[in-house]
Amino acid sequence: MTELALPKIDNSILNRKIEIVKKLSKLTDKENVLSEADELRPYETDALSVYTQTPLAVVLPENTDEVSEILKYCHSENIKVVPRGAGTGLSGGALPLQDAILLGLGKFNKILEIDYENKCVVTQPGVTNLGITHAVQNKGFYYAPDPSSQLACSIGGNVAENSGGVHSLKYGTTTNNILGVQMVMMDGTICRFGGKSFDQEGYDLMGLICGSEGLLGVVTEVTVKILKTPEVVRAALIGFPSIKEGGDAASEIISSGIVPAGMEIMDKALIEATDNFSKAGYPRDAELLLIVELDGTKSEVNELIRKVEVICKKNNCSSLKLSNSEKERLSFWAGRKAAFPACGAMAPDYYCMDGSIPRGKLAEALLEIKKLSEKYELPVANCFHAGDGNLHPLIMFDGNDKEQLRKTEEFGSEILKTCVRLGGVITGEHGVGIEKRELMCEMFNDNDIQQQLSIKKSLDEKNLLNPGKVYPILRKCAEEGRVHVHKNKDKFPDLPRF
């Protein structure tokens, strides 16, 4: 089993649990403070469920002033705080710490204002991503970023992770689609960055907060930009006899000047898995499946579809189907959207990786992943946001087998190192969290990490907010490299893994 170093446990905090819970119950309604074992259990993990930890207590404040009072108290008493949105994060960013308060934003679940004139929605952070679109779709508007967990993930969590989705090449990620945030700093200071107007002047603190994984502040309000739903959306489902031909077609679509709303690639293993699972009618003889979605006005979309058809035929596609109705378009996506549960049905557990690579390196990356799959004797299926280069290999394993879990983690880590070697990054949209912390040194040198830590220190001097996440526990990358060697001995036996 690999080691997972967490910040040193402060026993004096553990010993003061009763007093701390009592104080928290004065800062918010006492019903909002959870401290019994059975109450804490649902909060032990986020969607990276291989790691679990029971927090000291869970507090669920109801408004910004309560968040501020709680943080101010924790700051003065040196109590660590782990913020949590909907708990759908895949990198362990909301993994509790034994001596930390888990600050849940679940009660911040209201949309505060829908402002069509300024094309924005002001919302509390606990509202789901899809909840925003639902609130404005009757007037023909929507919120563009659409992470696959959009039904459950909260907008506050989206800000913390800078979530993307399948449409981010054309419409950007969270950072490109929010106008303002209200945030509480660790010392309790309430601040507001941006608002309803574009491009706040001065340092782009909203841009800094977006994607900071809950390390710099607790977001208590978000103003998002809404867009008008396109007049026409059509999709093409295209099968290719080889990875190379499909990858080349995807690259050529982009270099020809087309910016698809979405462009997804699935490999043979995933085509079979999803087709078995959802009966989507995918071409099972294809080595690679490409879904291209185009939006705009009617003639614009028809022209783009025609161009895509020409490019795919030139690259020897083996099948090509165009959606002629909204129902048919959604059926094209049905299999892709079922990719994760389909893998879940094939093995007891699956581990979803999240690297980004330059689009043109897809064939090389998939070949490398195939070799690694043989080396580790673990099956893998791949889906790829071809529009923006975000690769999601799904490694299938049995979590009850500790050796398989170890091999899976090593396999995953090798995939991400491959992404970096090919000119990409270790995380496209899931965040670093606890999962990819040690891999930060693959991308950044000591100077880069020191600069980031220095920002953290400037805004959270005592390192109380979500400590132990994103950055390696040891400061120097070289040191971390040595420590990372597996010694077959768990440094933190109190941290169960499943």
Residues in 363-422 that interact with another protein by CB under 8 A: 385, 388-390
In the complex, what is the shortest distance from the CB of residue 271 to another protein, in angstroms, rounded to a whole number? 23
Structure tokens at 271: 């085509």
**Contacts (CB under 8 A) with another protein, residues 22-51:** none
**Of residues 95 and 470, the one with the C-beta less far from another protein:** 470
Judged by CB under 8 A, the residue of 25, 200, 276, 463 near another protein is: 200
At 103, which helix (H) or strand (E)? strand 100-104
**Of residues 228 and 313, the one with the C-beta less far from another protein:** 228
Structure tokens at 444: 């950044």
Instruction: Choose among 268, 353, 354, 257: nearest CA to 307.
Output: 257
Judged by CB under 8 A, the residue of 45, 88, 150, 168 near another protein is: 168
**Of residues 98 and 212, the one with the C-beta less far from another protein:** 212
SS3 36: coil
**Contacts (CB under 8 A) with another protein, residues 205-224:** 205-208, 210-212, 216
Judged by CB under 8 A, the residue of 17, 22, 314, 457 near another protein is: 457
Q: Which stretch binds another protein (CB under 8 A): 25-33, 189-197, 284-292, 483-491?
A: 189-197
Half-sphere exposure (CA, 13 Å, Cβ side) for 299?
0
Contact between 346 and another protein (CB under 8 A)?
no
Structure tokens at 391: 């690769």
In the complex, what is the shortest distance from the CB of residue 474 to another protein, in angstroms, rounded to a whole number? 16
**Of residues 119 and 417, the one with the C-beta less far from another protein:** 119
**Of residues 172 and 481, the one with the C-beta less far from another protein:** 172
Q: Which stretch binds another protein (CB under 8 A): 12-20, 235-243, 326-334, 350-358?
A: 350-358
Site string for another protein, 259-288 (x = CB under 8 A): x-----------------------------
Judged by CB under 8 A, the residue of 169, 181, 271, 290 near another protein is: 169
Q: Residues touching another protein: how many (CB under 8 A)? A: 92
Contact between 19 and another protein (CB under 8 A)?
no
> Is residue 182 packed enough to be buried (19+ CB in 10 Å), middle (13-18) or exposed (0-12)?
buried
**Contacts (CB under 8 A) with another protein, residues 62-91:** none
**Of residues 119 and 497, the one with the C-beta less far from another protein:** 119
In the complex, what is the shortest distance from the CB of residue 92 to another protein, in angstroms, rounded to a whole number? 14
In the complex, what is the shortest distance from the CB of residue 173 to another protein, in angstroms, rounded to a whole number? 6
Judged by CB under 8 A, the residue of 45, 52, 323, 427 near another protein is: 427
**Tokens 């580790």 -> residue:** 376
Question: What sign has the CA pseudo-torsion 244, 250, 251, 255?
Answer: positive
Judged by CB under 8 A, the residue of 255, 279, 314, 375 near another protein is: 255
β partners of residue 84? 104
In the complex, what is the shortest distance from the CB of residue 498 to another protein, in angstroms, rounded to a whole number? 26
**Contacts (CB under 8 A) with another protein, residues 235-254:** 251-252, 254
Q: What is the DSSP string of 5-24?
A: --PPP-HHHHHTHHHHHHHH
Confirm if 67 and 103 have CB atoms less than 8 A apart.
Answer: yes
β partners of residue 83? 103
Judged by CB under 8 A, the residue of 122, 322, 425, 465 near another protein is: 425
CA 413 to each of CA 275, 354, 498: distance values in angstroms, whole numbers, following the listed order: 28, 10, 18
**Contacts (CB under 8 A) with another protein, residues 461-490:** 470
Cα separation, 10 vs 427, whole angstroms: 31
Contact between 312 and another protein (CB under 8 A)?
no
> Is residue 447 packed enough to be buried (19+ CB in 10 Å), middle (13-18) or exposed (0-12)?
exposed
Q: Report helix, strand and coil shares of the chain as percent, to nearest 5.
A: 40, 20, 40
Instruction: Choose among 135, 139, 141, 305: nearest CA to 237.
Output: 305
**Of residues 188 and 241, the one with the C-beta less far from another protein:** 188
Q: Who's near 206: CB < 8 A, 6+ residues apart?
A: 178, 180, 181, 193, 194, 200
**Of residues 296 and 399, the one with the C-beta less far from another protein:** 296
Contact between 359 and another protein (CB under 8 A)?
yes
**Contacts (CB under 8 A) with another protein, residues 96-155:** 115-120, 140
Q: Who's near 90: CB < 8 A, 6+ residues apart?
A: 46, 47, 48, 352, 354, 430, 431, 433, 435
Confirm if 416 and 430 have CB atoms less than 8 A apart.
Answer: no
Judged by CB under 8 A, the residue of 360, 379, 399, 481 near another protein is: 360
Contact between 452 and another protein (CB under 8 A)?
yes
